[in-house]
């Protein structure tokens, strides 16, 4: 990609941020992002809702407010009933409505397998943009959804996930990060990203590298759905999760306490879909943020670690 040089481009592609931010005026900036993927659950309505929540999340992860969206659709015309497509779009539309976002159009193509997502436009005050590069030494790290969704999605594909776990995972993945973004805006934070395909450690690696700091994660503080451990032990590990783990090992980015076994490491590296916000906030504000998150009933409100002075991108995971 060519290097862009425009004074109004506040966030471009360099820092691996969730969305681009473009200043329109002294008090207003535009946020743009796009996300789509193939089904991760069997129910088409839930797939649509999760895909929409996931796409909107990149606006929330910048601290912004989503306004307008466009559907992006791939569908095997003639192979699957159009009723399935109808349900996917209804799931997305109702999720957008819940977020106060207008879906104003879109584009569809004939495809080998279904794909769905949104291109989203949002707004933010230029001074309130939460990027990857402002995490500071001493900040607390807070996570707003539990981990393990990749492992559960793999268990669903292998028909190993109990119905109650599928139900809870759909609930978590289709929850908007809106409440978390509102809490974050109210308290004022340093940095934020949402946890998606690269998993907690991959996205934290991105944030700490962009900020030139290190991080310390406390394993026992991580919110993880209890059933995830059992499924992971049974070998329900997505390819993406293994790739995340191998990549970080290759980069020597993570130092694990010696007592942490490989299954646990894979759980911590698990690739997420529509995961929570990972927020870096000044220590003196973290209590306020946690209690606001609880008021907003985010799926998790967990203090998982802190930003430390270390080589850029170095993460320590402690028992
Ligand atoms: Co993101
Ligand atoms: Co993104
Ligand atoms: Co994204």
pLDDT at 15 over 90: no
Whole-number Å distance, alpha carbon 83 to ligand 1 midpoint, is 30
Question: Is the Cβ–Cβ distance between 20 and 13 less than 8 Å?
Answer: yes
Whole-number Å distance, alpha carbon 292 to ligand 2 midpoint, is 25
Whole-number Å distance, alpha carbon 195 to ligand 3 midpoint, is 9
Mean pLDDT of 65-76: 98
Report percent pLDDT > 90 for the chain: 97
Mean pLDDT of 5-14: 94
Ligand number nearest CA of 195 is: 1
- DSSP run (H or E) holding 285: helix 283-295
Res 224: pLDDT:
97
pLDDT at 188 over 90: yes
Whole-number Å distance, alpha carbon 56 to ligand 3 midpoint, is 9
Whole-number Å distance, alpha carbon 219 to ligand 2 midpoint, is 25
pLDDT digits (tens, 9 = 90+) for 117-155: 999 999 999 999 999 999 999 999 999 999 999 999 999
pLDDT digits (tens, 9 = 90+) for 111-120: 999 999 999 9
Q: Which of 173, 174, 152 is nearest to 164 (CA)?
A: 152
Q: Is 80 helix (H, G, I), strand (E, B) or coil?
A: strand
Q: Label residue 2 by pLDDT band (50, 70, 90).
A: confident
Q: Which of 156, 310, 309 is nearest to 238 (CA)?
A: 156
- DSSP run (H or E) holding 244: helix 239-250
Mean pLDDT over the full length of the chain = 97
Q: CB-hemisphere CA count at 13 Å for 311?
A: 7
Report percent pLDDT > 70 for the chain: 100
Rounded to whole angstroms, the Cα distance separating 241 from 150 reads 7
Strands 191-194 and 102-110: unpaired
Res 1: pLDDT:
85
- CA 47 vs CA 99, 161, 243: distances in Å: 17, 17, 24
What pTM does this model have?
A: 0.96
Ligand number nearest CA of 194 is: 1
Q: Label residue 14 by pLDDT band (50, 70, 90).
A: confident
Helix boundaries (H) for 99-162: 149-157
pLDDT digits (tens, 9 = 90+) for 218-229: 999 999 998 999
Q: Label residue 6 by pLDDT band (50, 70, 90).
A: very high
pLDDT digits (tens, 9 = 90+) for 231-263: 999 999 999 999 999 999 999 999 999 999 999
Res 134: pLDDT:
96
């Amino acid at each position: 990609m060519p290097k862009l040089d425009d004074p109004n481009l506040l966030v471009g592609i360099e820092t691996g941020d969730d969305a681009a931010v473009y200043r329109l005026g002294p008090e207003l900036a535009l946020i743009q992002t796009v996300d789509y993927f193939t089904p991760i659950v069997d129910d088409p309505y839930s797939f649509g809702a999760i895909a929409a929540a996931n796409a909107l999340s990149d606006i929330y992860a910048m601290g912004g407010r989503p306004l307008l969206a466009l559907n992006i659709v791939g569908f095997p015309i003639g192979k699957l009933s159009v009723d399935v497509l109808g349900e996917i779009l209804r799931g997305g539309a109702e999720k957008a409505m819940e977020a106060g976002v207008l879906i104003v159009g879109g584009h569809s193509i004939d495809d080998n397998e279904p794909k769905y997502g949104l291109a989203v436009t949002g707004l933010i005050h230029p001074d309130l943009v939460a990027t990857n590069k402002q995490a500071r030494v001493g900040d607390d790290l807070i996570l707003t959804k539990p981990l393990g969704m990749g492992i559960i999605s793999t268990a669903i594909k292998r028909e190993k996930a109990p119905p109650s776990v599928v139900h809870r995972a759909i609930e978590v993945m289709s929850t908007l990060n809106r409440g978390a973004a509102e809490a974050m805006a109210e308290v004022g934070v340093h940095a934020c990203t949402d946890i998606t395909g690269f998993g907690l450690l991959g996205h934290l690696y991105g944030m700490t590298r962009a900020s030139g700091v290190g991080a310390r994660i406390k394993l026992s503080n991580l919110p993880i759905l209890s059933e995830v451990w059992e499924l992971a032990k049974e070998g329900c590990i997505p390819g993406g999760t293994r790739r995340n783990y191998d990549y970080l090992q290759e980069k020597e980015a993570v130092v694990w306490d010696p007592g942490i076994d490989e299954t646990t490491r894979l759980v911590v590296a698990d690739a997420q879909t529509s995961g929570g916000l990972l927020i870096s906030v000044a220590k003196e504000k973290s209590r306020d943020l946690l209690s606001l998150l609880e008021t907003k009933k985010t799926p998790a409100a967990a203090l998982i670690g802190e930003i430390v002075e270390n080589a850029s991108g170095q993460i320590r995971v402690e028992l």
